[in-house]
Amino acid sequence: MNLSRYIARRYLRSKNSHSVINIIARVSTVAMAVPVVAMVVLMSVFNGLEGMLRDIYLAVDADIVISPAVGTTFARDSLATFHIEQVDGVGSVSYTLEQGAIAEYHDNRTMVRVKGVDEAYAATLPIERHLTSGYFMTDYDGTPTAVATRHILLALRMTNISPRESFSLYAINRQRISTILPTGGYTRRDVGVAGIYNIDDQHSDVLYVSLSEAQRLFNYVGRCSAAELSVAEGADVERVRSRLRALLGDDYRVLTRDEGNTIYRLMAVEKWGVFLLSLIVMAIASLTIVGVLVMVIIDKREERATLLTLGATPSLVRRVFTSQGMMMVRRSMVGGVVVGVVLTLLQQHFGLVRIGAASLMVDAYPVELQWSDVVAVAVGYYAVASVIVWFTVRTMQR
């Protein structure tokens, strides 16, 4: 039997005239559990937001992107497509060319990012799920077409949406620059509208055309700016990236979705920044145990003297009060974790808390419970509270 723990348990359950201290201890235990609950829910909210962003950007962020290490474009023939597709874990490969241009319809103009894609793009990235009208089609009976956002069409004041109703794209002609005749320094291509898509404001200026049309517009015939790859189901992205890097060498950069989109890194930094701030809040909440332990030590001074008279060492007495404090810590930790997990699971499966905004893609606050976060919260809280208990008992028992 652990003597110090047994005595500490008796102190917590004692029915004496000073039972108000036990009531205060129970209230303090509940107060210490509240920040644990909040932290579990908060970490789950960050996971839910990150998951929602990943679902949104799944249509525009490929699993792996290959781009030139030097310059902005590379010759498509220089990349051994056959060898890339033979790499274990690679699903499909799509070549793209993305550059800035000016779109014009009658007297209306707007800046756009033209992204030329090949026939394998729709099979590599699920862009079609974000179509709000029409089809993801870059050619209609031999006529070049584009897939645009509503933002671009509103800027052009283009109301007649049809593959046969074309607008113009202008890009700088790198092969022919004239200071005497400025119009000669531009390349013009006319395209119709086959479909309308919507993702978010960050991609509101992206216009999809065929790869060959983009190559003619930017005078990059036979060249691409990136090769976008999908990873086969069940394959590990990091292992596939390592194999591709070994295959391609230093001439190309191979980036995963998390490396290519800074939003994911910012979300991770923000999440763990909030975790550290929450630890400070939990440390402050754990200070309530200081007052409880001080009152207990003062209240039990006669019992402490009795224990010392019976032969107990000062170390044993310190362990008694330390055990009492740690019991409060464990109870608050377990209670806070259980309540936090239950609230998170209820929100995750039933969506009890609604956003109430029809313009968003979800109607309930997104949450996602990850057990690694629960363990991190429990360990962090236990470590902080243990230090506070130990320091309090050592200070009062000198």
User: pLDDT tens-digit profile of 32-62?
Assistant: 899 999 999 999 998 988 888 888 888 888 9
Residue 17 in this model has a pLDDT that exceeds 50:
no
What's the mean pLDDT in 369-374? 93
User: pLDDT tens-digit profile of 128-165?
Assistant: 988 999 999 999 988 999 999 999 999 999 988 888 88
Q: Which residues contact 344 (CB under 8 A, 6 or more apart)?
A: 40, 41, 44, 367, 369
- CA distance linking residue 340 with residue 42, whole number of Å: 9
Query: How crowded is residue 97: how many other Cβ atoms within 10 Å of its Cβ?
Result: 26
What's the mean pLDDT in 262-274? 83
Residue 182 in this model has a pLDDT that exceeds 80:
no
**Which helix (DSSP H) or strand (DSSP E) does residue 103 occupy?**
strand 90-105
- CA distance linking residue 214 with residue 210, whole number of Å: 6
The more confidently predicted of residues 90 and 355 is 90
Tell the residue number behind the tokens 């993801």, with chain if given.
136
What tokens were used for 107?
Answer: 């007297």
Range name among 38-47, 298-307, 332-341 with the lowest pLDDT average: 298-307
The answer to whether 323 touches 8, Cβ cutoff 8 Å, is yes
Highest mean pLDDT among 14-18, 174-178, 292-296, 363-367: 363-367
Residue 181 in this model has a pLDDT that exceeds 60:
no
Highest mean pLDDT among 203-212, 293-302, 309-318: 203-212
pTM (two decimals): 0.75
- CA distance linking residue 243 with residue 56, whole number of Å: 28
Amino acid letter, 21: I
What's the mean pLDDT in 186-214? 92
**Which helix (DSSP H) or strand (DSSP E) does residue 35 occupy?**
helix 20-57
- CA distance linking residue 145 with residue 136, whole number of Å: 9
The answer to whether 217 touches 171, Cβ cutoff 8 Å, is yes
The pLDDT assigned to 4 comes to 58
Average pLDDT in the chain: 85
- CA distance linking residue 368 with residue 372, whole number of Å: 12
- Pick from 351, 344, 353: nearest CA to 45: 344
- CA distance linking residue 133 with residue 118, whole number of Å: 21
Tell the residue number behind the tokens 């348990």, with chain if given.
9
Provide φ and ψ at 27, rounded to 5°. Answer: -65, -40
